[in-house]
């Protein structure tokens, strides 16, 4: 191990990517108590620099020797990079917070949303997984309800931004919209369908056996693991929409006991990571444009599901920044908890 977890030496793997850049900003804005920061990316980024706390830091090419002296490594460079390099980082004594899906369902790897299951962090064996963005954004506002009146069934429809597919997809949205407005043809390179003024079923593969795509399957499995509830019934349809960086999600959930919209509002008022935006008079509800750039998940359209006469079901609409709470911020919050736990443990020992 390098310096110490109370003032750790940190590496960002994938520092030049859509999430990596936000991790860098979160570390800065949240005054993360690091002693040293190493930025890692592919050979394509060799020679680049990124600014951090007023200094230009070089981007280094990731290799087997990148993790010497690193205490915490924040990975966001895709599953194959994580599968190859996360174990190497752990062998060098680092704790890995991994934003890819590579280890999320591994039983020895905690899958953590700090507002929900922070306690799992202590069980890590070197790797902690950051969940899928749509799972995080759905579960942050669901959790305060679930812990009071168990949610037995959840139906989600997502409206997912370009950022989930990386910086190149965000660029494709901008370029293809510009081309469309100029009356020019644009050949999509990153996503499988025309993106400007269009939407389409999530670009991950469909499992022919279930009819669900990978993204949907991830949300179902990961939600059960995060909530610690293998019985919760979940149905989901994931759609990619032409929005840059915040996901919106329509949710309907059924609880064990009857529940009224006002009870939901009371449970969500002041809940960590949640902001109610539910202005019926002005018809003002969560929008990606408002969610963009903030850490809270916006929640509104809170209403009884009139299709369920038992009174146990609620519908609502949420929006959250995919790059922040859906990825970078959640990872940095996990790293913050690692530091806090280390400091608290040392105090006890002293
Ligand atoms: P690079 O910018 O050098 O390609 P995004 O999700 O926005 O596409 O970003 C992916 C991030 O992961 C980028 O920082 C990218 O670096 C990095 N990356 C992708 N493949 C590798 C690799 N094989 N080794 C190291 N970094 C990688």
Q: What percent of the chain has pLDDT over 70?
A: 99
Q: What percent of the chain has pLDDT over 90?
A: 97
Q: Is the CB of 239 under 6 A from ligand 1?
A: no
For 99, 128, 138, 341, the CA distances from 226, given in Å and listed in that order, are 15, 12, 12, 20
Domain count, the chain: 2
Ligand 1 centroid to 62 CA: how many Å?
A: 10
**Rg (alpha carbons) of the chain, rounded to whole number:** 21
Residue 4 covered by a domain:
no
Residue 1 covered by a domain:
no
Residue 2 covered by a domain:
no
Instruction: Given the residues 146, 247, 255, 312, select the one marked as catalytic.
Output: 247
The rounded mean pLDDT for the chain is 97
CATH number, residue 211: 3.30.360.10
Q: Is the CB of 20 under 6 A from ligand 1?
A: yes
Residues 302 and 171 in one domain: yes
Q: Looking at residue 347, what is its pLDDT?
A: 83
Q: Is the CB of 16 under 6 A from ligand 1?
A: yes
Residues 16 and 162 in one domain: no
Q: Is the CB of 62 under 6 A from ligand 1?
A: yes
Residues 21 and 122 in one domain: yes
Ligand 1 pocket mutation, candidates 40, 46, 74, 77, criterion most atoms within 8 A of CB = 77
1 pLDDT band, cuts 50/70/90, is very low
Enclosing domain of residue 281: 135-322
Residues 222 and 300 in one domain: yes
Residues 275 and 202 in one domain: yes
> pLDDT tens across 120-132, in order?
999 999 999 999 9
CATH number, residue 339: 3.40.50.720
Residues 100 and 170 in one domain: no
Residues 282 and 236 in one domain: yes
What is the DSSP secondary-structure string of 291-303?
HTT-SSEEEEEEE
Q: Give mean pLDDT, residues 223-243.
A: 98
Residue 255 pLDDT > 50, yes or no?
Answer: yes
> pLDDT tens across 177-201, in order?
999 999 999 999 999 999 999 999 9
Residue 3 covered by a domain:
no
Instruction: Given the residues 133, 238, 255, 312, select the one marked as catalytic.
Output: 133
> pLDDT tens across 116-164, in order?
999 999 999 999 999 999 999 999 999 999 999 999 999 999 999 999 9
Q: Looking at residue 349, what is its pLDDT?
A: 75
Q: Which residue has the tokens 């369920």?
A: 308
Ligand 1 atom closest to Cα of 80?
Answer: 23
- DSSP-based three-state secondary structure for 306: coil
Q: Looking at residue 3, what is its pLDDT?
A: 60
């Amino acid at each position: 191990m390098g310096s110490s977890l109370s003032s750790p030496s940190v590496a960002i793997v994938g520092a030049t990517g859509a999430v990596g850049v936000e991790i860098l900003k979160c570390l800065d804005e949240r005054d993360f108590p690091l002693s040293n920061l190493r930025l890692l990316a592919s050979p394509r980024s060799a020679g680049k620099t990124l600014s951090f706390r007023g200094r230009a830091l070089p981007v280094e090419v990731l290799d087997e020797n990148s993790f010497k002296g690193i205490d915490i490594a924040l990975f966001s460079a895709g599953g194959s990079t994580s599968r190859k390099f996360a174990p190497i980082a752990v062998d060098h004594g680092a704790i890995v917070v991994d934003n890819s899906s590579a280890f999320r369902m591994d039983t020895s790897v905690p899958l953590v949303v700090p507002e929900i299951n922070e306690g799992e962090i202590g069980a890590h064996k070197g790797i902690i997984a950051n969940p899928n963005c749509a799972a995080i954004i759905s579960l942050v506002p669901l959790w305060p309800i679930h812990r009071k009146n168990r949610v037995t069934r959840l139906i989600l429809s997502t409206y997912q931004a370009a950022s989930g597919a990386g910086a190149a997809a965000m660029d494709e949205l901008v370029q293809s919209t510009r081309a469309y407005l100029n009356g020019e043809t644009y050949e999509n390179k990153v996503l499988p369908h025309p993106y400007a003024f269009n939407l389409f079923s999530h670009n991950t593969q469909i499992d022919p056996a279930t009819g669900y795509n990978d993204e949907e399957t991830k949300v179902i499995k990961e939600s059960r693991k995060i909530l610690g509830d293998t019985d919760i019934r979940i149905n989901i349809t994931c759609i990619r929409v032409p929005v840059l960086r915040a996901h919106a999600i329509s949710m309907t959930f059924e609880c064990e006991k009857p529940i009224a919209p006002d009870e939901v509002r009371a449970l969500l008022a002041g809940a960590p990571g949640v902001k109610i935006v539910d202005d019926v008079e002005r018809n003002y509800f969560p929008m990606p444009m408002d969610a963009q750039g903030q850490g809270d998940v916006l929640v509104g359209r809170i209403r009884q599901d009139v299709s369920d006469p038992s009174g146990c079901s609620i519908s609502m609409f949420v929006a959250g920044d995919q790059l922040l709470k859906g990825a970078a911020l959640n990872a940095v919050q996990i790293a913050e908890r690692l530091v806090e736990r280390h400091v608290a443990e040392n105090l006890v020992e002293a």
